[in-house]
Amino acid sequence: MADWSEKHSTLEGKRCPGCGVPFQSEKDDQPGYVPPTVEEGEKVVCRRCFGLIHYGILSKAPLGDESLFRALKSVSARVDGFLIVCDVSDPETLPRVLDVAGNEKPVLTVLNKADLLLRWMTPAQIEASFVRRFGLHPGLTIALSARDGHCAKPLRELLQRTFPGEKTVLALGATNAGKSTLLSILSEDRRLSVSRLPGTTLGEVTLRTSWGLTLLDYPGFKLSNPFLAQLCPQCLVAAVPRKRLFSKGFELHPGMSYMFGGLGWIRVLDCGSRGWVKMNAFVPEDIPLHRTKAGKERELLDRHSGDLFRFPCRACWDALKADMKEPGLSLRVAEGEDLVFPALGWVAVQTGEAELEVVAPEGCAPLVRSWLVDLRKAGHRFPRKRR
C-alpha cells in the first residue's frame, strides 16, 4: 500500500487552513486528519474542521498554554505588531495576553462581543472602561462585535493606520475570544474554522488581507478557564453566551445559597447589621440560576441534573462533583464589587455587603473586582426576565 508521502506529496508539510494543524492520515480521531483518497485543493481542510464547518460537529482537542507561550516567543520577534482580541465579558484574561505582547511594538486591542453589554453600556463606554482598567492606548482600542457585518470597515481602517504597508501582525487572545471569526472577516477566508467551542484553532494559521497585511492566528490561551478539560463539548458551548448576557436580580440572607447550574454556588455566611444583600447575576443564557438553602446544592443536582439543572449535563456533573471541594473559599464582597467565576460569569453586589463561602470546581479561582457594569447608571436595576 502506498504510504502518506506517495499519496499526498502535495499535502505533505502543509497545514489545515481551518485550524492550523499539519495534515496527517494516520490517526482519524486526531486534528489534521484527511482520508488517503483526498488530494490537494483550494478547499481541503482536515476532517475535524470539515465536520465543524459543514455539520456543526463539535470535538475537543488537547490544549496547553506552556508550549504555546514558548512558541510565541520566537514568533513575536519577527512580527511588526499585535492584534489582541478580548471577550468583553471575560476581561480578567487581558493582562496576561498583554504581557505576551509587551510594549516594544504597536498593540491594537479589540474588545469583541460588545453586543453582550449593549443593554447597559455603549461601545464608547466599554472602550473608556477598559482603557481605564488596563492602561490601554485609547487610540488603539475598539469595541465591536464580530457578529456585526459592519464591524470590518472600522477595524480595517484602524489596522491600516496602525500597520501601513505590507506588515505582519500576530493575533492573540484567550480561547473563544473571537479571534478566528474576526480574522476570517478581515481576510475574507471562509475556510478558517470558527465556533462557540473554545479551542477551535490548534496551530499557526496565516491569512492575508486584500490590502497587503499578513495576519498570524495561533491557538487561544486557556488562562483562567478551568472547564476546558472538565466539560463535554456541548456543555462548553452552553457556557458561552450566544447573543446577550442574561442578568437577574436577587436578594439573599444568611443561610441561603445561589447556584450557577452545577458549576458553582455561593453561600451567604453573614450580611452584617443589615441582614440581607442584593445582587445581580450576569451569565450566559443557558446557565440555570437557582436560589436554595445552604447545604442543599448537591442533593438538588444529584436529583435534577439534566432536567431542572440542564447545565451541566448529567455526565459532566457526575465527573465534576468530586472536585467541588468544601468548605469553599471565604470571600467578603461589598456594594460596588463583582464576584467573578472565571469563564462563567459574575455576581454584582448592588446593596449591602456579605461574607460568602464560594464553592467551585478545583482549578476555578473566583476573584473580586470593581463593577464592570454599573446598573445605576445604566438604568436597569431589575432586568427583564429570561424568555
Give residue 193's pLDDT. 44
Closest CA to 127 of 112, 115, 111: 111
CB atoms within 10 A of CB 55: 8
Evaluate whether 59 touches 48 at the Cβ level (below 8 Å).
yes
Give residue 32's pLDDT. 66
pTM: 0.78
The alpha carbon dihedral of 198, 347, 266, 356 has a sign of positive
Give residue 382's pLDDT. 40
CB atoms within 10 A of CB 206: 14
Give residue 24's pLDDT. 73
Three cell numbers written together for 126: 466599554
Evaluate whether 264 touches 328 at the Cβ level (below 8 Å).
no
Task: Give CA–CA dist 218/274, Å, rounded.
Answer: 50
Give residue 384's pLDDT. 45
Give residue 353's pLDDT. 96
Q: What is the pLDDT along the chain (387 residues), one digit of tens a residue?
A: 344 344 444 566 677 766 666 777 777 666 666 776 666 655 676 666 655 554 344 444 555 566 677 777 778 888 999 999 999 998 988 998 898 898 899 999 999 999 999 999 999 999 999 999 999 999 999 999 988 777 788 999 999 999 998 999 999 988 888 888 888 888 876 554 444 444 444 567 788 888 999 998 887 777 656 777 778 878 888 888 877 789 999 999 999 999 998 899 999 999 999 999 999 999 998 899 999 999 999 999 999 988 888 888 898 898 888 888 889 999 999 999 999 998 889 999 999 999 999 999 888 889 999 999 998 887 544 444 444
